[in-house]
Amino acid sequence: MPHRSGLAVVTETSAQLSGSHRPLTGVVIVSYRVPGLLEACLLSLRAARTADDLRVVVVDNASNDTSENIVRRAFPAAEFIGLTRNIGYGRANNVGIDRLRETCAPRSYLLLNPDTVVPGTAIERLHRTLAEFPTIGAVGPRLELKNGEIDPACRRGFPSPLTALFHLGGIARIAPRSRIAGRYRLTFLDERAVADVDSLVGACMLVRAEAMDAIAGFDESFFLYGEDLDLCWRIRTAGWRIVYDGRVDVMHHKRSSAARNPRSLIEFYRAMRLFYRKHYDATTPPLGRIAVEVAISSLIAIAALMPKLRNRLPGAAT
């Protein structure tokens, strides 16, 4: 197995993936210390109508927990790749994609988070959309949160400086139906629509193999956030469409704790800076460039100070 960037991995194989049959879907699940959620995700895949045509690889980012045993019990036909350290979400996905490409060359890749539960017909229906339109490079479902509401990250516009300003500044919440103010989360778009969008979310995204091959997978510069936006940008730039299919539901047990974690916030803003520099910096006027850099640096600094500020609040533990 070739390794990207000299990465050493420890691989435990639960099943032989190679063979003359080319599977319809290669599933890549990147896991990190969520064995319970991972089990529910794998059990939902086993129950899928297309389960016999799936090849599943779980790439574990050095969780050092019971994840490997969970994989063997919940989906014995899956392959478990245990990494020796946490290398980030995008890079770990590339490990899984490379493994599937080598062993079975699937016709598509389903990028899936371990905190999702996939209904029995969801993968089949996403494939139907992909097959109906040969120009589609990636398709994603409506992600449903535990409270029944849509996960707004499942269909997005690219965060241009103006779009990011409307989103972070709260203007989008005031005018969610505006096609300008609501551009990032596409809040003006019907939840059940089938529509071309800028980006899907890496929690559940079905990518045509030819599109994935054309862009050589994820940009490993992104560690935790922003890699799915960048992936979709490059798929679109390569000439493929990105489509949101709101007729298909997938459950997403999204954890809100990460959003409140200062380290996660810092990674989020760092990814924002990386995405901006990669895709918008060259076309932004000098004063605008300075304003964006100052704004992002300020957000990173505030996130870094959050633990200290919390400790100084009345009633905080001493």
Mean pLDDT across the stretch 244-249?
Answer: 98
Tens of pLDDT along 122-153?
999 999 999 999 999 999 999 999 999 999 99
Q: How confident is the model at residue 315 (pLDDT cuts 50, 70, 90)?
A: low
pLDDT at 307: 74
Write down the H helix ranges in 75-208.
89-103, 122-132, 161-168, 171-174
Given a contact cutoff of 8 angstroms between Cβ atoms, the answer to whether 159 and 272 are in contact is yes
Given a contact cutoff of 8 angstroms between Cβ atoms, the answer to whether 189 and 155 are in contact is yes
- Helix or strand or coil: residue 150? strand
Given a contact cutoff of 8 angstroms between Cβ atoms, the answer to whether 9 and 98 are in contact is no
Mean pLDDT across the stretch 217-235?
Answer: 97
- Better-predicted residue by pLDDT, 169 or 260: 169
Q: How confident is the model at residue 255 (pLDDT cuts 50, 70, 90)?
A: low
In 10 A of CB 109, how many CB atoms?
Answer: 26
pLDDT at 245: 98
* Superfamily of the domain at 4-156+197-255: Spore Coat Polysaccharide Biosynthesis Protein SpsA; Chain A (3.90.550.10)
Cα separations in angstroms, 49 against 57, 122, 125, 206: 18, 9, 10, 16
Q: Comparing 3-17, 213-227, 246-260, 292-306, which segment has the lowest mean pLDDT? A: 3-17
Give the burial class of 279: count Cβ atoms within 10 A of its Cβ; 0-12 exposed, 13-18 middle, 19 or more buried. middle
Tens of pLDDT along 200-219?
999 999 999 999 999 999 99
Q: How confident is the model at residue 1 (pLDDT cuts 50, 70, 90)?
A: very low
Q: How confident is the model at residue 11 (pLDDT cuts 50, 70, 90)?
A: low
- Domain residue spans of the chain: 4-156+197-255, 259-311
pLDDT at 19: 44
Mean pLDDT across the stretch 271-280?
Answer: 98
pLDDT at 226: 97
Tens of pLDDT along 38-84?
999 999 999 998 899 999 999 999 999 999 999 999 999 999 999 99
Contacts of 88 (CB under 8 A, 6+ apart): 61, 220, 222, 223, 224
